[in-house]
């Protein structure tokens, strides 16, 4: 059960600021959801995500948790919130995307998708109904329907066939979901259609009939140019209900966040801040830096002087570079803490600018700065 | 510059409780020093070590820091405290032990020890004087002299020769140290002598002439039976000045800590709590557990119900096992946090019992419980 409240809209762009009330607290939108793949945002304690990062919602992956530790165990342990000691909202994907990206052996039929675990080769089946059941076991605040995610590029014909299947699966998922006696978990359908505007439109129209509490745009960040992803969102977002949250899945780089917000998006998620952190790529208010570079060897400055995170308030670039070079766990912890803070700071700044009616200025400045290396 | 204040002594054993005042705060003894090999206690932020663990001193390794990032860089960055953002006391070893345990190629001469880096094979020389200089660059509160650490078993003849060299090196180190114009860093000599009581005695007597601010007992935990290590400490500790801190290097298991305290030891260090944590071995007030075991799969209890650490107050064994199985960074962080807390709790309990005059009761109970698996 969600309640979405729009607080302000931008007069010149599609940007909006709102409040999304969930059974596990209120989320200020636009929001970026840190990814907690295996029931943990890699390296971060829940308390660090809460104070001072103030993350209100995280995303976790159904595929991974289904395989390990298993949804029945998580149900037995009181649900995902309790299991991972995360008191705030959780969105889980359907597992579809990971089946397509991680599982070598898979077979898609009208019934669902059969796949072999990337961990031990064991065989499993995801159906529109089963993935709802798995997510209900987690007790997710927001669940996603099973969809088929095509690689880029795909032909118009293949995309239409796949999209039709995604729509059928969404209907089945909603039928099953509405038969459950629960009012805590919401379900979002996912608009597919690859890079074809007509199919995106057709898919959105069909899914609107489900009268869902929110809608996602999927099938992006699958290898296409950034312009194309943004174009697809620009076409699709206005077709979705104005008064419901819109979620673009799996994006993006820091300089893409304002582009999606400008196109009317309220929710995003991506592994970039945490994965790049571990690989030495740090995002700052003045650009990006690769901490492994020799020039940071004796750099006594923090990663980002304007950042208020523990990492920036406490440590130098020189120390972080040392930890990185030495392969220390603490490097990953501190770097992730910073990058996630940076992402959420960008979101907060955008939200603030929308509320103040100056988002176009923010957007122009963000575009001018673009994504440069320090 | 250290000041050691003995607050209470046990009437039946050699145990004592004291305060060791250092340039970076006061240490309550007996104390266990968590090991921060590469300028980080693996996985832990300094703030987590301070509150609520309240570690007052950590140990860092000269060998590792000398090779990477280098003592000159650390000096340039303002010393080790500032570099790693650790405001409390730091003890550094001389690097000798690591040269003997990590470096494949090494040659000991009267001058010092030539070795090849385990990282890149580069050739380096440690002398009694150079290791003092390296530690002065760190700005350590307590520095250790270069010593030769023999493997177990060693012959009486080889031990005597090595011990004589260790004594000569200690004298050289002290001469060099006392020529420096500084009053912040203290230097401890190290009693060697392998498992030979006569040599331990001889070595201690010679080193007493240095009139150091504290004394260490080295050359233990090198493969000998536990009884033998304790016997060597029992022989050596009473030979050391009563009014100065006594430090046994590289020990021990949780159930060994009371044994050394009973023998008059004030300071200890060991990688066990952090290394074992990462390997799945957790120490509790009721025994030990190997978190990877299947029986913890759905165990909703904390690691240790009596422990007040964030890990135990927040997470279940089932969740920790999941993180361990999934190879998650957060597992190492949470497990290390717990084990270090456990070690420091044992030390605090011992200290309290000494102050209250009931240490013999504590010791008897500890011996009865021994180190059992849960």
Read off the pLDDT of residues A310-354 as tens digits, 9 standing for 90 and up. Answer: 999 999 999 999 999 999 999 999 999 999 999 999 999 999 999
CB contact under 8 A, A319 and B76: no
Q: And the tokens for A57? A: 């919602």
From the number of C-beta atoms within 10 Å of its C-beta (0-12, 13-18, 19+), residue A328 rates as: buried
The predicted model scores a pTM of 0.97
Alpha-carbon gap, residue A330 to A318, rounded angstroms? 14
CB contact under 8 A, A314 and B46: yes
Chain A residues in contact with B311 (beta carbon < 8 A): none
Residue B364's pLDDT band (cuts 50, 70, 90): very high
Confidence at residue B374, expressed as pLDDT on a 0 to 100 scale? 63
Helices (H), chain A: 46-50, 62-67, 71-76, 80-83, 96-102, 128-138, 156-179, 197-208, 226-236, 257-262, 272-278, 310-314, 317-325, 329-355, 359-369
The SS3 assignment for A139 reads coil
Read off the pLDDT of residues B185-217 as tens digits, 9 standing for 90 and up. Answer: 999 999 999 999 999 999 999 999 999 999 999
Q: And the tokens for A371? A: 């994504």
Q: Model ipTM? A: 0.97
Q: Is B227 among the residues known to form the active site?
A: no
Residue B102's pLDDT band (cuts 50, 70, 90): confident
Confidence at residue B157, expressed as pLDDT on a 0 to 100 scale? 97
- Residue A153: left if φ>0, alpha if ψ -120 to 50, beta else—which one? beta
Suggest the residue from B330, B331, B335 to mutate for an interface test with chain A (most A CBs closer than 10 A).
Answer: B330
> Is the pLDDT assigned to residue B269 strictly greater than 80?
yes
Chain B residues in contact with A322 (beta carbon < 8 A): 38-39, 68-69, 83
Of the candidates B30, B25, B54, the residue with the CA atom closest to the CA atom of residue B260? B30
- What is the rounded average pLDDT for all residues in chain B? 96
CB contact under 8 A, A310 and B46: no
Compute the nearest-CA separation of B314 from chain A (Å). Answer: 6
Domains and CATH numbers, chain A: 3-270 (3.20.20.105), 271-374 (no CATH)
Of chain B, the percentage scoring pLDDT greater than 90 comes to 93
pLDDT tens-digit profile, chain A (374 residues): 899 999 999 999 999 999 999 999 999 999 999 999 999 999 999 999 999 999 999 999 999 999 999 999 999 999 999 999 999 999 999 998 898 888 777 899 999 999 999 999 999 999 999 999 999 999 999 999 999 989 999 999 999 999 999 999 999 999 999 999 888 999 999 999 999 999 999 999 999 999 999 999 999 999 999 999 999 999 999 999 999 999 999 999 999 999 999 999 999 999 999 999 999 999 999 999 999 999 999 999 999 999 999 999 999 999 999 999 999 999 999 999 999 999 999 999 999 999 999 999 999 999 998 656 66
Confidence at residue A171, expressed as pLDDT on a 0 to 100 scale? 98
Exactly one of A48, A266, A269, A345 is catalytic; name it.
Answer: A269
Quickly count helices (H) and strands (E) in chain B.
15, 17
The SS3 assignment for A336 reads helix
> Is the pLDDT assigned to residue B370 strictly greater than 90?
no
Of the candidates A284, A334, A345, A280, the residue with the CA atom closest to the CA atom of residue A311? A334
How many CB atoms sit inside 10 A of residue A109's CB? 10
Chain B residues in contact with A70 (beta carbon < 8 A): none
Percentage helix, strand, coil, to 5, in chain B? 45, 20, 40
Confidence at residue B65, expressed as pLDDT on a 0 to 100 scale? 98
- Sign, Cα dihedral of A67, A73, A77, A78: positive
Of the candidates A58, A6, A2, A9, the residue with the CA atom closest to the CA atom of residue A263? A9
Closest-CA residue of A relative to B329 is: A43
How many CB atoms sit inside 10 A of residue A47's CB? 11
Chain A residues in contact with B68 (beta carbon < 8 A): 322, 325-326
CB contact under 8 A, B42 and A323: no
**C-alpha to C-alpha distances, A298 to A319, A331, B67, B72, nearest whole angstrom:** 8, 16, 15, 10
From the number of C-beta atoms within 10 Å of its C-beta (0-12, 13-18, 19+), residue A85 rates as: middle
Dihedral (C-alpha) A25, A29, A30, A32: value to the nearest 10 degrees?
A: -10
Contact A212, A188 (CB under 8 A): yes
> Is the pLDDT assigned to residue B313 strictly greater than 70?
yes
Q: And the tokens for A247? A: 């979620």
- Per DSSP bridges, beta strands A281-284 and A267-269 are unpaired
- Out of B78, B85, B333, the one facing A314 most closely (by C-beta) is B85
Q: And the tokens for A279? A: 């690989």
In angstroms, how far apart are the furthest CA atoms of chain A?
A: 62
Closest-CA residue of A relative to B69 is: A322
Confidence at residue A10, expressed as pLDDT on a 0 to 100 scale? 98
Confidence at residue A189, expressed as pLDDT on a 0 to 100 scale? 98
CB contact under 8 A, B73 and A318: yes
**C-alpha to C-alpha distances, A19 to A22, A186, B267, nearest whole angstrom:** 10, 16, 55
Alpha-carbon gap, residue A272 to A274, rounded angstroms? 6
> Is the pLDDT assigned to residue B323 strictly greater than 80?
yes
Pairs across A and B, CB distance < 8 A: 109
Closest-CA residue of B relative to A44 is: B330
Confidence at residue A96, expressed as pLDDT on a 0 to 100 scale? 86
From the number of C-beta atoms within 10 Å of its C-beta (0-12, 13-18, 19+), residue B41 rates as: buried
Contact B303, B317 (CB under 8 A): yes
Contact B58, B73 (CB under 8 A): no
Alpha-carbon gap, residue B250 to B252, rounded angstroms? 6
Confidence at residue A234, expressed as pLDDT on a 0 to 100 scale? 98
Residue A286 CA, distance from chain mean position: 24
- Out of A43, A76, A325, the one facing B333 most closely (by C-beta) is A43
């Amino acid at each position: 059960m969600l309640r979405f409240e729009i607080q302000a809209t931008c007069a010149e762009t599609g940007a909006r600021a709102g409040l999304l009330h969930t059974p596990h607290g209120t989320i200020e939108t636009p929001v970026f959801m840190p990814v907690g793949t295996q029931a943990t945002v890699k390296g971060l304690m829940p308390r660090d995500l809460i104070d001072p990062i103030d993350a209100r919602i995280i995303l976790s992956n159904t595929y991974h948790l289904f395989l390990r530790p298993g949804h029945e165990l998580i149900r037995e342990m009181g649900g995902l919130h309790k299991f991972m000691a995360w008191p705030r909202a959780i969105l889980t994907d359907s597992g579809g995307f990971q089946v397509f990206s991680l599982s070598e052996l898979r077979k898609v039929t009208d019934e669902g998708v059969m796949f072999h675990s990337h961990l031990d080769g064991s065989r499993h089946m995801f159906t529109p109904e089963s993935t709802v059941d798995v997510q209900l076991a987690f007790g997710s605040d927001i669940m996603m329907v099973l969809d088929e995610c095509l690689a880029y590029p795909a032909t118009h014909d293949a995309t239409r066939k796949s999209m039709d299947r995604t729509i059928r699966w969404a209907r089945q998922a909603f039928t099953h979901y509405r038969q459950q006696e629960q009012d805590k978990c919401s379900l979002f359908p996912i608009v597919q259609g690859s890079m074809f505007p007509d199919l995106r439109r057709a898919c959105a129209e069909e899914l609107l009939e489900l009268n869902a509490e929110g809608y996602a745009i999927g099938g992006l960040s699958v290898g296409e140019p950034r312009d194309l992803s943004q174009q697809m969102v620009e076409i699709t977002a206005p077709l979705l209900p104005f008064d419901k949250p819109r979620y673009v899945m799996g994006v993006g780089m820091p300089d893409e966040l304002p582009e999606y917000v400008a196109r009317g998006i309220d929710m995003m998620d991506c592994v970039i801040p945490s994965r790049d952190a571990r690989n030495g790529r740090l995002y700052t208010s003045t650009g990006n830096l690769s901490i492994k570079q020799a020039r940071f060897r004796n750099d006594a400055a923090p990663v980002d002087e304007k950042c208020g995170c523990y990492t920036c308030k406490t440590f130098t670039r020189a120390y972080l570079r040392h930890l990185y070079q030495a392969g220390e766990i603490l490097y990953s912890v501190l770097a992730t803490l910073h990058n996630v803070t940076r992402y959420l700071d960008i979101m907060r700044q955008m939200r603030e600018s929308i509320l103040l009616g100056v988002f176009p200025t923010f957007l122009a400045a963000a575009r001018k700065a673009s994504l440069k290396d320090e």
